[in-house]
Each structure stands twice: as structure tokens, then as C-alpha cells.
A and B are shown apart, each in its own frame.
Chain A
């Protein structure tokens, strides 16, 4: 040993930090038989080395996993948001199809071609989206398959309503009422199930992001504390104030811990903000739009059912409340403009002027149609803006997450190697 020390000092003359210290002689170098384990310094040094390697390597693994999982959870939250928006759009498209079909029924064979095309395109959009949604999220496949059958049966029943109506057979109105009822009674619960399932998936992913952050902090803190305590003990034992290896290891632990942890916190906060803000608003606006179309259906069905339409008017009132509760204040006025015209048409029907009410309800340039379209367009533009915000907020972030993961792993491995080397140098002094 004595022969090696000068050789080592000669081999590393540029080392500035390590000041030569008097040789430690407090404890004997070898452990005589019968003494306690870990009584000798070399054994304690070896233990320190092992512990240092384990905590740094462990931290590297945990940090890498945390970044990986955050990245994956983020991607899944993004996919979940896209799925949620798809489901809302299916709801809107089906409601739009029903509103068009029930309104067209009032004019029977004199239905304008544009209205027929509007109904068909709404139904097409809905069925296309059902297929895409099933591919995008296989866990939703069962419910979407059932929804598909509901849509198919609905469109068949509407066609029977149209065919009977065209021959002035009153049974056509019954087919129409049955079709509308099946949409509300069968498709409604399915869409609700899909919405709540996807919402809870997004919540779960964002929850996982938060948990990963905590795990990262805990592991990093453990590693840093262990290294710090080890450095302190080493300094006291070897009487050298700084051990380069352990110091470097500590730095390599703190950088991902502090930097990565802060960045993860930022990611988590942004995701949470999106969920509580743009995403929630998007869902509310989408449901308001579907409720508005549902109100339009109920309005037409009240006229189709004539004297027996009281239940549909009550349903219209329910839809109106839902719309007003969900839309922002600047759209209130547009809705109330439509609601006023609706009340006027209802008044005409209630006073027995059914034909005038029917004309007002089916006139594409009439006040009823124009006020509703104005409201719907305003709502749609707000909805599209918020939906864009919600989806871009989650996609925009974090291509660096996987990179950070690999870097933390490397940092952990490097820290382990450096710590091992740093303690090893002290250990060599005992050989």
C-alpha cells in the first residue's frame, strides 16, 4: 500500500479538489476474528459504495420509468380526449338527424331536397364516427357495436315513417314517434356510458401523471439524502472534505430530480388546467348543442302529434333549461330569440291554428328556422374553438418526455459508476 500511494499521487497531479490528508489510523485495517461486522472502515466503505450504487441506479430507473409513464399517460389522455370529442359529435349528429327527420315529416311528400340531404348526411356522419371510435378505442367496442344497431334500426323506422306519411297514413306518425323514442331511450344511455367511461379514463391518466411525479420526488430525495449522508460520513472518516465521485453522483441525481420534477409538475398542471377548463367546457357545449337539436325534434313532434303532444312540449321545456344552463352568457340572447318564436308558434297551435303553426315550423326562411340556425351556428363556433383548445393543449406538450427518460437512466448509471469510483478511491487507501 505504501508503494502505491505515491504512484497514484503522481498519476493524477491535476486533481485540485482532493487535498492530501494525513493517513487515517483511527481504526485498524483488518478485522480480527470475533469483532462486530462493519467495525472496520473498509467494510463500511464497501457498504457505502454498494448503497450509493443502489440508490443512484434505483433513482435512474425510477426517474426513467416516471418519464416514460408520464409520456404514455399523456398520450393516452390525449387519445381519450379525442375519443370523448368523437362521442359528443355522434350525439350531436344523431340529434341533428332526428330534428331534421321530424321537421320534414310535417310536410310529408313536399319535403325539400336540401332537408332530405341534411338528414342523410347527419346520419352518415354519425355512423362513420361510430366506426372510427370503435377502432380508436377498442375498450369501447361493445357499447359502440350496440349503438350501431340502434342507429341502423332508427334509420329503418324513419324510412317507414316517411313511406307511410307519403301515403297520408296516420300510422306513419307512430313510426316517427317510435324512432325518436328509440334514439332517446336506447342511444342516450349508450352515449352516456361512453362519455363517462372516457372521462374517467382521462381522469385516471392525469392522476397517474401526478403519482409519477411524486414517485420521482421520493426516489430522488432518497438518493440525494443517502449520497449527502454518505459524503458527510466519508468526509469525517477520511478527513477529505469532498469526494469527487460522490459529489458528481449527487449532482447527477439532483439535476433530473429538480429539473425533471419541475418540468413534470408543469406538465401535470397544464393537463389539469385543460381538463378542468377547455375539456369540461367542450363537453358542456356539445351536450347543449345536442339538447338544442332534441328540443327541435320535440317541437316538431308536438305538431305531428297534434292534440296529443303535451308530453313533447314538456320535453322541449326540459331541453331549453338544459341549453340555458350550459351555454355561456353571450349565447343566451340567441337562444331566447328562438324560444320566443317557439312560444308564438305554440300559441298558434294551442288556439287551434294548427296549419299556420305547421307552416311557421316548416318554413326554411321563417323566423323559427332562422333564429334556431343563428343560435346553432354561434354555439358551434364556440364549441369548435374550445374543442380545439382542449385537444391541442394535450398534444402540444412533451416530445421531450421520452428523451428525458433515457437521459435520467444514463444519469443514474453514470452516477452509480462515479459514486462507485469515488468511494473506491478511498477504499484503495486501505489496501
Chain B
């Protein structure tokens, strides 16, 4: 082979090699395809564990029966059970600050006001001669009993239903308001009773409340649990539930916040409200009963009711309290 031919041949081979190499390189990828990021799994909502079934306590007679009131307030003020409060000069009352109409803050005056607050102020009036000697301590529903037991508050005025079980832990005054479970629906609804609600209607109440449990009597309705009654109102406003059930006082508070809702139907449960007191302080219970009797007698109860609850719930009269209790079981 001639040298020139060899060189040309080599050049051709070299060029061919280079071309193949470049092609091979171009054919190889450089990676970089990413799998799409996976959406996180939504955790399955575990239903809240129901409270273990306890044998209900039995009470003799009327569960709302309270201890006899003092015959007059002056004698009550001197009773030993009230000595600490009188000395302190202030009555500490556990209340709610976001239950409209019962106990809620008025931003204009910064005061907490409502029907329950009026009841507490009536006790202060009877004890100190002035309704302003109360210290309102905002508490949760769960704190009501523990704070009474450890002395954190003297009274609880926080839509506290009188039950036999609670009588085993604390004491109650006589009934100062007889509430009952009713239903809140949009104004566009034609229902006038809970039984009028369409089959499959979603009805909201706080999880674990007696109101939600009471829906068991109406199997056509779908119970929906929420963290609080205000969340039920949020769900109703968003169209995610069709009705709300609860104490008529609470429902009145919700209706006051939304003009497109109304409270309907007869009460289908009895929820007697009492002021909570420490179980061992019967003197205070008797004094509170006397104070509430005066509140009813001088028209204070009616004025409070007309101001707060009458607009949503209609006319009302004070309940007649029952007395004669001798101990926690009756």
C-alpha cells in the first residue's frame, strides 16, 4: 500500500471513529427525569373514643331539687360557708366569653355580658349590694367541675345542666332556666319540628355532647360532629350541614349571629340550668338559692330574659325551683 493511500485510509478510519463516537455520546442521555412528587396521604380520621360506659348514678326524687334557701339574705351572709368570699370582697365566677346571649364579650364596652352573667351578678348584688363585685373568669366546659372542686372559682354560670351524675361531684342551685334541645335551620326551611326534617338531613352538634347523642332517637337524620357549636354554624353557612341541634339558648346565640337562620320546634329534652357550686359548701348553695329567689321576685329574671333570649325564643317565664335535697343522691 502506498504511503499516501495509507495516510488517507487512516484519516478516513479516524474520521469514521470520531463520527461513531460522537453519535454514541449524543445517544446517551444525561438523566434527570424525576418522578412526580407524591401527594401526602390524608390520615384517616379516627372517630373520637367514646367515653367508657359508666353505671349511671341513681338519685332519689327530682334531680333538680336543691338545698333549701336561707330564709333571709342577712342570715345567709353570716353563714360560715360564705366567710371566705365575704372577706375577699369578690365573687369569682366561671363563665364563657364566646356564647352569645349567655356570656360573650361586648367589644364596645369590653365587658362580658349575657343571661348567665346576669344570674351571677344577681348573686353578687345579694351578697355585696352591688352587681359589680364579680370577677368573671373565662373557662372551658371541661373546666367547670375541676375548678369548682379545687376552689378555682366560687360559682359556675355557664349553661350548666343539672344531672344526677354531676350531683355526685358538685352541687347545684335550683333551676334558674329550663332549656331544652331544639333545632336551628335556615330561614328557607319549611320544617317546624325536628320530625319535619327531610330524611338524610345532616344535623350538627358538638362531638360527645348529649345533644348529638339525642339524635339517636331520630334514625332518619345523619349526625355530624363538630368541635363546638360555632363550628356547626360555620358548617351551616358553608352548606355542609342542613341543621344544628343543641340547647335552645345556644341556638338563640347562633341565630343572633346569622339573620338567615331560625330556631324551630318544641323542646325535645329537658335541660335544667343551675349555678354550679362546690359540693361541700351547702351554705353557698342555700345563699345562691335565696339570691335567685330575690332575682325572680323583683323582676330581674324577666328583664334579663326579655333582653337576651326572648327575641329568638319567644316569651318565657321563670321556672319554679324545687327544694328539699338532703345530700348528693337526693
Contacts and interface: CB of A to CB of B under 8 A. Distances in A.
A305 B100 CA distance: 14
Given A192-B40, A355-B110, A69 B138 contact: no
Contacts of A72: 30-32
A174 interface: yes
Nearest to A349: B138
A139 B34 contact: yes
Contacts, number: 125
Contacts of A339: none
B96 interface: yes
A175 interface: yes
A254 to B, nearest CB: 19
B233 interface: yes
Given A65-B25, A72-B30, A72-B31, A306 B37 contact: no
A61 B100 CA distance: 79
- Chain A contact-residue range equals 35 or more
A420 B13 contact: yes
Given A65-B25, A170-B98, A421-B10, A142 B36 contact: yes
A409 B25 contact: yes
A413 B38 contact: no
A375 to B, nearest CB: 30
- Chain B contact-residue range equals 35 or more
A409 B97 CA distance: 78
Contacts of A146: 39
A136 to B, nearest CB: 12
Interface string B200-229: 000000000000000000000000000010
B233 A174 contact: yes
Contacts of A173: 98, 230
A164 B98 contact: no
Given A164-B257, A417-B14, 4 more contacts: A68-B25, A306-B98, A352-B136, A409-B21
A237 interface: no
A69 B98 contact: no
A423 interface: no
B17 interface: yes
Interface stretch (A36-44, A193-201, A259-267): A193-201
23 contacts: A57-B17, A68-B30, A72-B30, A76-B31, A76-B32, A139-B36, A169-B257, A170-B257, A171-B234, A171-B237, A173-B230, A174-B228, A178-B234, A190-B39, A190-B40, A193-B37, A307-B143, A308-B98, A352-B135, A413-B18, A416-B14, A417-B14, A420-B13
A141 B36 contact: yes
Given A53-B17, A306-B98, A174 B230 contact: yes
A143 B38 CA distance: 7
Interface string B1-28: 0010000001001100110011011001
Contacts of A305: 98
Interface in B177-215: none
A131 B325 CA distance: 69
A413 B17 contact: yes
Interface of B: 3, 10, 13-14, 17-18, 21-22, 24-25, 28, 30-32, 34-40, 96-100, 104-108, 110, 135-140, 143, 228, 230-231, 233-234, 237, 253-254, 257-258
Contact of B17 (A142, A208, A308, A416): A416
Contacts of B25: 61, 64-65, 68, 409
B110 A197 contact: no
B138 A306 contact: yes
Contacts of B237: 171
B233 A142 contact: no
A171 B230 contact: yes
Interface in A47-88: 53, 57, 60-61, 64-65, 68-69, 71-73, 76
Interface in A127-186: 137, 139-143, 146, 164, 168-171, 173-175, 178
B316 to A, nearest CB: 23
A268 interface: no
The 9 A-B pairs at the shortest CB distance, nearest first, are namely A307-B138, A72-B30, A174-B230, A139-B34, A189-B40, A197-B37, A169-B257, A417-B14, A170-B98
B31 A73 contact: yes
A11 interface: yes
Contacts of B14: 413, 416-417
A315 interface: no
A241 interface: no
A108 interface: yes
A354 interface: yes
Given A61-B24, A354-B138, A409-B21, A171 B30 contact: no
